[in-house]
Structure 1
Amino acid sequence: MDAHESLLELIGNTPLVRLRTPSDGRGAPVYAKLEYLSAGGSVKDRIGLRMIEEAERSGALRPGGTVVEATSGNTGAGLAMVAAAKGYRMIVVLPDKSSAEKVNTLRAYGAEVVVRPGGLPLEHPEHILNVAAGIAERTPGAWFAGQYGNPANPEAHYLTTGPEIWRQTGGRVTHLVSCVGTGGTISGTGRYLKEASGGRVRVIGADPAASVYSGGDGRPYFVEAAGRFRHPETVDDSWPDSYQREVVDEVLPIRDRDSLTTIRRLAREQGLLVGGSAGTALAAALRVAAGLGPEQLVVAILPDSGRQYLSKYFNDQWMLRQGFLDGDPAVARVGDLLPAARRAEPLPYLHHHAPVGEALAVLRERQGTGADPVVPAGPAPVGPGRQPTSMELAGAVSLAQLEAALAAGRAAVTDRVGDHLGEPLPVFGAGEGAAAALAELSGRGCGTAVVLADGHAVGLVGAGELAVLAGAEPKQGR
């Protein structure tokens, strides 16, 4: 019989597929390691199995026990699949930015899902790592997987992913490109390939441009399961023990737009439906390959399936609203109200700890700018000259609102502005049609909206401005 005794035997051993790349006689071939074809649908199946088996061997996890983990989704799914196959209870703590598909996948495996706010400092008691550790401590027979510091994480890739790539390429691989999340995939795989090749293989990390791994400021970004977010109020931002930095030769920053448009093209042009972090890895791999010769060989690890992101990255409406699509150039678009010079100016923005007196100064300065004197505010401060992301916009405050509160004695100039926020302003992507945006804004009874480009807030527009723009003749051929 050609059969397997257990689903666990189907973890790993994923295929390597050559991708079609622009061919002009230059550049190295690029091969994709399709981790979404593992049994549970992601590269994290490997560490799910390895971590649980090591916990069983050590006695940390016993029959009838409970597996607990904090994760953005894929590690939880890998652990939940293995836990289900082995008869363990599973509890997963997720940030609220995780896709609905990931949450539903975990529940389908029988896991108990606990959702907590994302974007919190590491020391916050509601940070997913702290919540998961607390659940494990309070639950009899529980074991906290702790992928960020678990040596079985990189070891799984040293023992499986690296040898597979070396065998599949016949030892011809010269460059490995992988995202850096916990660091386990790139560390374990890269270490094996360096050893097998006598140091010839170059290991390159692919990272969201805002992530701290590639030198970003750690602000929120839109690609799930990659990079490292750093909240500005985090005190100790120690990098994961599973990330062995000495293995990695270079880390390339990749913009969210490049990651997301790459996977959309890959699905439509080559039939490969993969997730956002795969787009980050592939965009970096294509950049690397373009500077090499045809005798070189680049392997990119594509971590998971695009089926987990159908409601986001492959949803035209979501992409357009976040400003990742440019929309129809034949009609007036919201972004037309923000010429390049205006987009380059930082959006007026307040940290929720800012005093009311500071907010009043900003708002009064904005009087007469064409939009209502309203500013968005959020949970994280924004550096000089930098627009916040849409994920940082937690509320809004108007001049009239604050002045009325002061006059009535409900507020003082020394109060935190966060204690006096109204609902967040509506947001529109720069590529959305002005007429449709005006209709939605009017229906919500709002006079001001935030304009997003590539997920970042680049300006404010008023209903009056949109009305003028929407009433213009449709533009042709822009």
Structure 2
Amino acid sequence: MKYAENILETIGNTPLVKLNVLTKELPCLVLSKYETFNPGNSVKDRMALQMIEDAEADGRLKPGGTIIEGTSGNTGMGLALAAIVKGYKCIFVMADKQSKEKIDILRAVGAEVVVCPTNVEPTDARSYYSVSKRLGEETPNSWYVNQYDNPSNTKAHFLSTGPEIWEQTEGKVTHFVVGVGTGGTISGVGKYLKMKAKEAGTTVKIWGIDTYGSVFKKYHETGVFDENEIYPYITEGIGEDILPKNVNFDVIDGFTKVTDKDAAIYTQRLAKEEGMFLGNSAGAAVKGLLQLKEHFTKDDVVVVLFHDHGSRYVGKMFNNDWMRDRGFIEEEVKTAADLINNHHDKPLITVQTEELVSHAIERMKGNKISQIPVRDMNGFVGSVDETDLLHHFISDKKNAHIPIKEIMGKPYPIVKKSTKIDVISKLISKENDAVLVDLENGNYHIITKYDIISAL
């Protein structure tokens, strides 16, 4: 009988799958190294097992110990699977930008998960780098993995992923393209492929996919670590605001950057046009591949590595409401009806003329809004916004108990559903923060500056 002794023996030997639709404009053969076939559904299973086995071998990880790591989710999954088989506990630290699915999956396999804020400096005590390191120091009989600087990360891909690609392409691979995060995959695979190509008298180019908000591309090109390059981004699994020791810039021939929007759109397109249900970094990799078109010829064999599975992004890149909220779905907006399309079912929040200022303040706080139309028995007669309320409240706190009618401004203009967006934008000014849309049958909705900016 042929079977694996445990789930860890199924790691590796993932297939190469040809891309047919999204890459048809490219002159070359494009093959994807499809890492979701690993048991944890990601490429990170390879290095997770390697790092654990190396730590066991040199005594850093002892029987019954606790594995501690900062992870975007996939490394945690690989570590958790190995920990289950080998009898270890796991504590994983994640940034709050990671998908809920990733956090839930890690908890489902028995790991403790600590969530930290994304928008802090790496050296901040609250960052997931700092918290994971601190937990490693404070937890008895624990091992802090540190995948960013752990050489076993790169080693795993030099020993497995690289050789598989070389053998599967019969040594014909000419380019390797992959998203760069910890750097282990690109450095390990790149080092192996370049070594084999040199032996064979050929060449292989190694290209990294970076994201805006990350430091890799500029550092590779200039040697400058530019902190002005660092800002929050949505794309998961690639890019960094630090320089991990596993990123071997000497192995990498170049980087191309991909926007959050393009990465998300191409993640959806992979599923809908190639039947490949993959994670966010796969979308970035395909868009980056297309941006590198000028570097490929008809005789080239390009291998692009896809890191993880789409099931971890169902609430994000595969959720059209999430995509729409971030402006990633391009919808033609022409009229008032289009502007309120995403929230027309929500009730219009109003305040009556005789209600108190405190009532309006509570309504704004409770609904997280900045403007409220004012009504009386005859219809809309005024408006209030947060600036006016704040001014009156700070000038005299007793104003919280006066009727809205005493401080309200002019009523918002009312337009029909068919009113063009350029007409609406002209109605909104410093003196007028919103416009009401007549939905007919006595129903109205509000359009604010935010709605118009979101539609642009």
Using the size of structure 2 for normalisation, the TM-score is 0.73
Query: What's the counterpart of residue 124 of structure 2?
Result: 124
Are 2:155 and 1:155 equivalent residues in the alignment? yes
Conserved 8 A contact 1:207-1:254 = yes
Query: What's the counterpart of residue 425 of structure 1?
Result: none
Are 2:221 and 1:218 equivalent residues in the alignment? no
Q: Which runs of 5+ in 1 are unaligned?
A: 231-237, 337-370, 374-396, 410-433, 436-460, 473-478
Q: Give the aligned residue type for 1:132.
A: S
**In the alignment, which of 207, 210, 219 is matched to residue 207 of structure 1?**
210
SS in structure 2 of the partner of residue 464 of structure 1: strand
Residues 24 and 188 of structure 1, relative CA distance in 2, 3 Å threshold: closer
* 1:326-337 → structure 2 map (5 Å cutoff): 326-327=330-331, 332-334=337-339
Query: What's the counterpart of residue 227 of structure 1?
Result: 239
Are 2:107 and 1:107 equivalent residues in the alignment? yes
Q: 1: CA distance between counterparts of 2:236 and 2:23?
A: 31
Query: What's the counterpart of residue 254 of structure 1?
Result: 258
Are 2:305 and 1:301 equivalent residues in the alignment? yes
TM-fit CA distance, 1:211: 1.8
Q: After superposition, what is the alpha-carbon deviation per residue over 1:143-174, rounded to whole angstroms, capped at 9, x for unaligned?
A: 00000110111111111111111111111111
Q: Give the aligned residue type for 2:217.
A: S
TM-fit CA distance, 1:317: 1.1
SS in structure 1 of the partner of residue 195 of structure 2: helix
* 1:12-411 → structure 2 map (5 Å cutoff): 12-21=12-21, 27-198=27-198, 200-215=203-218, 217-228=229-240, 230=241, 238-289=242-293, 291-327=295-331, 332-334=337-339, 399-400=387-388, 403-404=391-392, 407=395
Q: Give the aligned residue type for 1:134.
A: R
Q: After superposition, what is the alpha-carbon deviation per residue over 1:9-66, rounded to whole angstroms, capped at 9, x for unaligned?
A: 1111111001104687961111111111111110110111011001001100011001
Q: 1: CA distance between counterparts of 2:24 and 2:113?
A: 49
SS in structure 2 of the partner of residue 177 of structure 1: strand
State which structure, 1 or 2, has the greater radius of gyration over its C-alpha atoms: 2
Query: What's the counterpart of residue 359 of structure 2?
Result: none
Q: After superposition, what is the alpha-carbon deviation per residue over 1:81-120, rounded to whole angstroms, capped at 9, x for unaligned?
A: 1111111001001111211111111011110111111111
Conserved 8 A contact 2:434-2:446 = no
Q: 2: CA distance between counterparts of 1:32 and 1:12?
A: 14
Conserved 8 A contact 1:30-1:285 = no
Conserved 8 A contact 2:23-2:290 = no
Q: After superposition, what is the alpha-carbon deviation per residue over 1:411-453, rounded to whole angstroms, capped at 9, x for unaligned?
A: xxxxxxxxxxxxxxxxxxxxxxx97xxxxxxxxxxxxxxxxxx
SS in structure 2 of the partner of residue 121 of structure 1: coil
Q: Give the aligned residue type for 1:255.
A: T
TM-fit CA distance, 1:287: 2.9
In percent, how many aligned pairs have the same letter? Answer: 40
Q: 1: CA distance between counterparts of 2:113 and 2:23?
A: 46
Matched positions, count: 359
Q: 2: CA distance between counterparts of 1:113 and 1:214?
A: 31
Residues 27 and 144 of structure 1, relative CA distance in 2, 3 Å threshold: same
Residues 25 and 399 of structure 1, relative CA distance in 2, 3 Å threshold: closer
Q: Which runs of 5+ in 2 are unaligned?
A: 219-227, 342-368, 372-384, 398-415, 418-431, 448-456
Q: Give the aligned residue type for 2:101.
A: E
Q: 1: CA distance between counterparts of 2:321 and 2:106?
A: 26
> Could you say what the CA RMSD is over the residues aligned between the two structures, in angstroms?
2.9
Using the size of structure 1 for normalisation, the TM-score is 0.70
Q: Give the aligned residue type for 2:33.
A: K
Q: 2: CA distance between counterparts of 1:296 and 1:466?
A: 57
The range that moved more, 213-222 or 202-211, is: 213-222
Conserved 8 A contact 2:11-2:39 = yes
Residues 23 and 49 of structure 1, relative CA distance in 2, 3 Å threshold: closer
TM-fit CA distance, 1:274: 0.4
